[in-house]
Amino acid sequence: MRSFALAISACLMTMPAIADANIAGHWSFEANVEADCTFAGTAHLEKTGENRFTGELTARQSCPLLPEDYLVRQDCDASQLGNQLSVRCRIVEFVNGLESEFYYPDNFTLTIESSARMHGALVSAGRAVPAQWIRDEGGIS
């Protein structure tokens, strides 16, 4: 029981450090959208307030059954609560691929592990799939 209490205390002591992690800067992300498809991209977050960020992401989706690959640029707003980050985006431009009413903005619900890694879910088109964000080299700003 004493070991359990020490483990809980240790976890609680690291929570403020995670919440204080510098997540502003450049990131790479990927998500498991479907078995034959790939979904990945880059993002940039800029701190605009105590728990607020603004940014941009570019997502690439490639599926063998689609007639073309999609490359979509999006503007995003993010809010942080403790070690949780909610990223909500708006499509700005279809860089590649025809504009489609079936391509929805790419939103994320993430858990901040450190200033170099976040994991959680891509939430888009009414479903959530596993996703992760990894810090680009030299990406802290």
User: pLDDT tens, 76-109?
Assistant: 999 999 999 999 999 999 999 989 888 899 999 9
pLDDT at 19 over 90: no
- Quote the percentage of the chain above a pLDDT of 70: 83
Q: What is the pLDDT of residues 117-141, one digit of tens each?
A: 999 999 998 899 999 999 976 545 4
- At 25 the pLDDT is 96
Q: Which residues pair with 60 in a beta bridge?
A: 40, 71
Mean pLDDT score of the chain:
87
For the chain, what's the residue count? 141
- At 140 the pLDDT is 52
Among the listed residues 26, 37, 50, the one whose alpha carbon sits nearest the alpha carbon of residue 124: 37
With b for 16 or more beta-carbon neighbours within 10 A and e for fewer, the 68-86 pattern comes to eebbbebebebebeebebe
Q: Where does the pLDDT of residue 65 fall: very low under 50, low under 70, confident under 90, or very high at 90 and above?
A: confident
Domain count along the chain: 1
> Dihedral (C-alpha) 10, 11, 15, 21: value to the nearest 10 degrees?
90
> How big is the chain by its Cα radius of gyration, in Å?
17
Q: Which domain holds residue 48?
A: 2-140
* Alpha-carbon distances, residue 104 vs 40, 72, 92, 109, 111 (angstroms): 15, 10, 11, 15, 22
Whichever domain contains 22, its CATH number is 2.40.128.120
- Exposed, middle or buried: residue 109 (CB in 10 Å: 0-12, 13-18, 19+)? middle
Q: Mean pLDDT, to the nearest integer, of 16-40?
A: 87
